[in-house]
């Protein structure tokens, strides 16, 4: 997959999302490099590996270029050896809301206690139905980028 990713991020209130989820996966991800809004990420999810490259956002964090390629688990484990210190460990829950799917991430380890949701949109002004567990919007707040959480974990805030 490649192209422009448009998404909005929110903090999550409560844990009702777990009952509403139709699927969930454990995700581990590391960053080969991150800086100046650009990242190269390796991830394992659901028995597969992924290599993702993201470009900088030009509109306050709402959208950015993304390239993602599925790789083997062995390739992912080898690439983890090249990653900067700090692995992101989380469970992602998928929750339907109207015509959209919210991806709710519950973090572990140094980011324990942080739960965020994001929704991907086809246009910046596309309307969507917020589920009741959606709290404060954090779109564009770099503290909540996974690449930032790797180096400055939630427990240190």
Q: Which residues are catalytic?
A: 31
Question: What's the burial of 29, exposed, middle or buried (CB within 10 Å: 0-12/13-18/19+)?
Answer: buried
8 A C-beta contact, residue 55 and residue 65: yes
Tokens 């390629």 belong to residue? 69
Give the C-alpha distances (Å, rounded to integers) separating 153 from 21, 63, 67, 144, 157.
Answer: 26, 23, 25, 9, 7
CA separation for the pair 19, 12 (Å, rounded)? 14
Those residues with Cβ within 8 angstroms of residue 141's Cβ, 6 or more apart along the chain or in another chain: 9, 61
């Amino acid at each position: 997959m490649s192209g422009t990713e448009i998404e909005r991020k929110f903090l999550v209130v409560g844990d009702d999302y777990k009952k509403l989820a139709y699927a969930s996966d454990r995700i581990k991800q590391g960053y080969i490099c991150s800086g100046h809004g650009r990242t190269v990420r390796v991830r394992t999810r659901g028995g597969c590996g992924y290599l993702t490259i993201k470009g900088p956002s030009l509109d306050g964090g709402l959208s950015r270029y993304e390239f993602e390629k599925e790789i083997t688990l062995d390739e992912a484990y080898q690439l983890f050896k090249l990653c900067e210190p700090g692995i992101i460990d989380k469970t992602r829950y998928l929750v339907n809301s109207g015509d959209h799917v919210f991806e709710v991430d519950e973090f572990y380890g140094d980011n324990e206690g942080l739960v965020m949701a994001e929704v991907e949109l086809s246009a910046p002004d596309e309307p969507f139905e917020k589920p009741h567990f959606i709290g404060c919007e954090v779109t564009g707040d770099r503290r909540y980028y996974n690449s930032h959480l790797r180096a400055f974990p939630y427990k240190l805030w």
